[in-house]
């Protein structure tokens, strides 16, 4: 595979550091690597594959060099400003923020679900929200076979999804210190409040899940609702997903379908207390599904429990997989 020049924007953040870890683990073919951050972190040293790199301050001229792929995880306002600048200079941007996800000209990609959509890019490809990514991996094969009619999401999201400030609030709270980041203590507590509240009473996180699911599955008539909750877990998001289908199903056949789906692992042996948990599966790239059972309150529906590492599959790994698709399809 040919080697390409890669840039990382937000290189010192939680996801940025994980980009580097995943690129190294997957042996992504990098020729030259460029690391960018805000002025605050510029000048810091970062190691990649045994070599030390100096992080540069991001500016409007940062992409005036031969860069093929840029992985962005520096927040929406940075992406809004700098992704078009990079794209105008021939760089393909894979953006982890919410800035471009619902733009009709920007593909929103989960590689196990809609890999071909990367071919439609016009310089920017969006990484979906962490909680959407892990839901899509089991929902896509189920939709293909049984035609999804309605989805009810209930999420249990780790503090790492808020970055270092969220993690610190949990650590401080356990020590009995006051919360500085969340509006209420997160230690020993659950907050039904992720991102800002919207005029319709939902949070922005809930609306992200609803709208992104429709876009990725390319079905804007789907009935979807969501409640997203921040829980006192360090890393790894868990989701209870209730799905209603148009077609009937055999539960064992449905489980086999999930077990054989790409990027998915069925962890479901209730007789031996085997089901996925965030604590045990943190650090993995797969999406794990368990507690798969028929919903007896509807004609054709299931409940399932879906767990993934939100910083890896929910962010960094998914973005690197998109970059791999760009090479596979010879798009850079």
C-alpha angle with apex 60: 56 to 62, nearest 5 degrees?
Answer: 40
Residues involved in catalysis: 130, 237
Given a contact cutoff of 8 angstroms between Cβ atoms, the answer to whether 45 and 54 are in contact is: yes
- Residues 95, 99, 105, 108: is their CA dihedral positive or negative? positive
Given a contact cutoff of 8 angstroms between Cβ atoms, the answer to whether 33 and 26 are in contact is: no
Nearest to 307 by CA among 266, 278, 267: 278
């Amino acid at each position: 595979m040919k080697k390409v020049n890669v840039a990382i924007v937000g290189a010192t953040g939680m996801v940025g550091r994980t980009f580097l870890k995943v690129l190294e683990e997957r042996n992504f073919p990098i020729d030259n690597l460029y690391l960018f951050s805000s002025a605050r972190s510029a000048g810091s040293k970062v190691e990649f594959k045994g070599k030390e790199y100096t992080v540069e301050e991001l500016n409007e001229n940062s992409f005036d060099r031969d860069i093929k792929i840029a992985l962005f995880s520096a927040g929406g306002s940075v992406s809004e400003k700098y992704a078009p600048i990079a794209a105008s200079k021939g760089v393909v941007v894979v953006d982890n923020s919410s800035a471009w996800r619902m733009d009709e000209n920007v593909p929103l990609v989960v590689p196990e679900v809609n890999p071909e959509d990367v071919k439609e890019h016009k310089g920017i490809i969006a990484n979906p929200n962490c909680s959407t990514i892990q839901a899509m991996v089991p929902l896509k094969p189920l939709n293909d076979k049984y035609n999804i009619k309605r989805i009810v999401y209930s999420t249990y999201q780790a503090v790492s999804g808020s970055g270092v400030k969220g993690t610190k609030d949990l650590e401080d709270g356990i020590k009995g210190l006051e919360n500085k980041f969340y509006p209420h203590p997160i230690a020993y507590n659950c907050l039904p409040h992720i991102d800002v509240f919207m005029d319709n009473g939902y949070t922005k996180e809930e609306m992200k899940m609803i709208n992104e699911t429709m876009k990725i599955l390319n079905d804007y008539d789907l009935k979807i609702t969501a409640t997203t909750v921040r829980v006192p877990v360090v890393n790894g998001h868990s989701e209870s997903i209730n799905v209603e289908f148009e077609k009937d199903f055999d539960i064992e056949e449905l489980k086999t379908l999930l077990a054989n789906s790409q990027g998915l692992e069925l962890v479901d042996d209730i007789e031996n207390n085997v089901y996925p948990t965030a604590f045990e599966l943190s650090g993995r790239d797969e999406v794990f599904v368990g507690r798969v059972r028929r919903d007896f309150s509807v004609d054709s529906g299931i409940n399932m429990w879906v767990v993934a590492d939100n910083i890896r599959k929910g962010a960094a790994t998914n973005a690197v997989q998109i970059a791999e698709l760009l090479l596979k399809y010879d798009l850079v």
